[in-house]
A and B are shown apart, each in its own frame.
Chain A
Amino acid sequence: MSLWNRLVRWLASPALALTIILSALGLVLLTLFPLQFFGIPADQIARLAYRSTPFVVLYVFLACSTVACFRKRLKTLPRLLSSSPRLVNRNVEVLIPRAFDSVEAERVFRKAGFRYISRSGQSVRATIRPWAPLGTFLFHGSLLVVLLGGVVSQLPGTSYAVRVRVPEGERLGTPASGSVETIRGDRRDIRLPSFVMSDLQGTIGAEGPDKLSVEVETDSGTTRRFTAGWPWFPDLTTMVAAEDFGASAIVSLESTDSATTLATKRIDLDHYGPQRTRYIEMHAGGKRYRVGAVTPDEDRSEALPGGVVVSLSEKDAGADEGWKQIARPALLAEGAARSTEEVVIRLDELKPHAVLRVSRTPAMPLVLLGLIMAAVGVLLRLVFFRVEATVEARGADTIALRVAADVNRTSGRLRDELIRAWGVEPHDDL
């Protein structure tokens, strides 16, 4: 046997398959699992896992072994679909004291649910779901498809995720604009879908938004409404989901007579973002001012922010001591102003915005296909499996019944049912 054939045979061996599975289990338990408890971020663990030598070796072996197994069993597929399931327990033939009658045998089998029946001389063979072994191919094929999806995901410049703030009436931002925050990927490779935000609806709940949906008008004139739980897929590989909402506003510090604007700055607030309270620093008249702002949430009936809760603190420029609060947090509506002894703080151009997550995952169709193949494959192979029954003559007054279910086991219950169908009570002496 040539070296290549030996290699392929080894790769297709059940022992190697089991070794790979147990090795993967060991790697997961001994490396990844403990890392979780050291507070290492999940994405860092992912990088450690994907790029570590043991895992790369594992992926290569898994792929090669699966391809080799696939190839080996593909050749035997026609025979596999027509042959009997293998049995773990070989003592499964029962002798029934009845004369062989192929017509009666067929009747009994049909009543028991067998549909594919063939007669051959002194034997009758019946099968339920003869195509079920295809499930093995589907399932192992799904592993290859998902692995391929993983490889596609790793290709540079193909996948990304960004977070974008889009006020109503405005077009989705470009990567160059300040409203786009890159979560994953290279900013230069980002191509955002094109649409205008037409309607944003969000209602603040005690711990989470009761309702958060956005409607956009695409360039083709159609409208799409979506939320985080029901995102929009403009194409097979891109997903847009509503993650959050909030408001942006222009904060101005004016002189006490409101005659002079001392400083202005824009503030962005997301209602459920990781940093709920934003602080911006502004300099005016030799002092440093810190404006704290948070979207209001005290009233469950509060819809999109009609104002912002604002506080103001000050300290002398260059001072080391802490901030001195000069205005306590209070709701400030758009266009309104609050006076302190030193400055007037005003809020203008309040614009509610939605925070959208745009993800591009070229591997998505592959992974989805793999998941479907895996689900169908395991159902066929392990749940709706193949069952075969044969009855053949063993002498003038005796027939031998053999029932075998896939997954290398007998189907004792079905066997007993068939025995009773022949008018015999199942017992150990048969």
Chain B
Amino acid sequence: MTTYERIFWACYAAGAAGTTLGCLALWLPKPLQRAGRPLLVAGWAALTAAAVARGLVAGRVPVIGTFENTLLAGGFIVLTAILISIGGPVQRSHHFARLLAPLALLTLAAGWLAPMQPLPISAGGRSWMGYVHALIGWADFAVLAGTLAAAVGQLRNSRAVEEEAWDETLARLLGLGFALLTATMASGSVYSYILFGEWYRWQVVETTTMAAWLAYAALLHLRLLHRWSGRRLAVATLAAFPLALVAFWIWAIYPDTYHYFDAALRVR
């Protein structure tokens, strides 16, 4: 094992541990809950260091294969949980971290089902646009996971005074999530053109992403033009999230797509 590999595994373990302990701390009695966010921050920092170390091991940005993508996705989800908690009372409540931290751990654990060794990338795949596309995509998934958390929070909320705050948080996350999803599709479109000379290919990943994009576009129209808010909007958001889940992860299980990275890559 090389030095960078050792560093990677150490940081990976530290990141998983920090995230786990931070998540657990949030369920403890109040004085101990204060340790939750610092632990999450430490966990995120370790995961980020792990991603950098993995990049040094693989000689490229770590966006190839299920294992590396679960690392990135998990890191972005933890980061989203941390950033959302910097806000008003609703955001500062531990609700988001309590929901998103376990999701991040689940995502990291899913990576263990896939080959863990660094996979090579073909010359065709070695384009900075591919890295941009992957990073924007995982940031978007984390924000959409945040909409799920906000929707659950709105539905569980029993205080009328907080309904507006939950609604505002959900609306902001929906807007940011849709913007990032549009950017993911746009960057993916450019990347596809570089690789195949085609802007859009009717493969399963593009099709499911289009479905998710349409679902969130419908949500925003309901919000902007039909003034949906509160619990109605939250329920609609919950209904749309499974599409996002499928769009972002179907490539890990369905092999008949160029996005299926856990296999030998060819330029074509």
Task: Enumerate chain B residues within 8 angstroms of A36, measured Cβ to Cβ.
Answer: 203-204, 207, 254, 256
Q: Which residue of B lies closest to A371 (CB)?
A: B186
**For the complex, is A106 an interface residue (Cβ under 8 Å from B)?**
no
Tell me if A174 is interfacial: C-beta within 8 Å of chain B.
Answer: no
Decide yes or no whether B38 CB sits under 8 A from chain A: no
B87 within 8 A of A: yes
B214 and A272 within 8 A (CB): no
Q: How far is the CA of A287 from the CA of B207 in the complex (A)?
A: 52
Q: B115 at the A/B interface (Cβ < 8 Å)?
A: no
A428 and B161 form a contact (CB under 8 A): yes
In contact, B88 and A89 (Cβ under 8 angstroms): no
Interface residues on A, range: 35 or more
Q: Decide: A231 and B194 in contact? CB cutoff 8 A.
A: yes
User: With A and B bound together, what is the CA distance between A45 and B202 in angstroms?
Assistant: 7
Q: For residue A207, which residues in chain B have a CB less than 8 angstroms away from its CB?
A: 119-120, 264-265
Given A28-B210, A46-B202, also A208-B256 (CB < 8 A): no
Within 8 A of B (CB), among A359-375: 359, 361, 363-364, 367-368, 371, 374-375
Whether A374 contacts B164 in the complex (CB less than 8 A), given A42-B201, A407-B175, comes out as no
Contact of B197 among A14, A45, A161, A407 (CB under 8 A): A161
Contact B193 A364 (CB under 8 A): yes
Determine if B256 and A378 form an interchain contact, defined as CB atoms under 8 angstroms apart. Answer: no
Are B225 and A228 in contact, with the CB atoms below 8 A?
no
Interface string of B194-215 (1 = CB under 8 A from A): 1101110111100110110011
- Min CB–CB distance B66 → chain A (angstroms): 16
Question: In whole angstroms, how far apart are the Cα atoms of A208 and B157 in the complex?
Answer: 53
Q: Report whether B122 and A208 are in contact in the complex, using a CB–CB cutoff of 8 Å.
A: yes
Q: Which of B88, B194, B214, B227 contacts A88 (CB 8 A)?
A: B227
B70 within 8 A of A: no
When distances are taken between beta carbons in the complex, the residues of chain A under 8 Å from B204 are 33, 36
CA distance A21 to B222 in the complex (A): 11
Could you tell me if A410 and B164 are in contact, using CB atoms closer than 8 angstroms?
yes
Q: How far is the CA of A227 from the CA of B225 in the complex (A)?
A: 47
Say whether A268 faces chain B, with CB atoms less than 8 Å apart: no
How many Å lie between the Cα of A254 and that of B25 in the bound state? 80
Does chain A have a CB within 8 A of B106? Answer: no
- With A33-B204, A208-B121, A374-B182: A241-B226 Cβ-Cβ less than 8 Å: no
Which residues of B lie under 8 Å from residue A364 when comparing CB positions?
Answer: 193, 199
Selected interface stretch from B6-14, B27-35, B93-101, B165-173: B165-173
Number of B residues, CB within 8 Å of A: 63
A243-B268 contact in complex given A379-B179, A413-B88, C-beta closer than 8 Å? yes
Binary contact track A390-430/B, C-beta < 8 Å → 1, others 0: 00000000000000000111111100100000000000100
Q: Which 10 A-B pairs have the closest CB atoms?
A: A359-B197, A382-B175, A229-B127, A228-B124, A212-B123, A14-B225, A208-B122, A378-B179, A25-B214, A371-B186
Interface residues of B (CB under 8 A from A): 87-88, 119-128, 130, 161, 164-165, 167-168, 171-172, 175-176, 178-179, 182-183, 186, 189-190, 193-195, 197-199, 201-204, 207-208, 210-211, 214-215, 217-218, 220-227, 229, 254, 256, 264-268
Known A17-B221, A241-B195, A243-B124; further 14 A-B contacts with Cβ < 8 A? A43-B202, A45-B202, A88-B167, A88-B223, A89-B164, A183-B197, A361-B193, A368-B190, A371-B190, A375-B183, A378-B183, A382-B175, A412-B168, A428-B161
For this complex, 21 residue pairs linking A to B, each with C-beta atoms less than 8 Å apart, are A21-B217, A25-B211, A33-B211, A88-B223, A88-B227, A89-B229, A209-B122, A209-B123, A228-B123, A229-B123, A241-B197, A242-B123, A272-B267, A367-B199, A374-B182, A382-B220, A408-B223, A409-B171, A409-B172, A412-B165, A428-B161
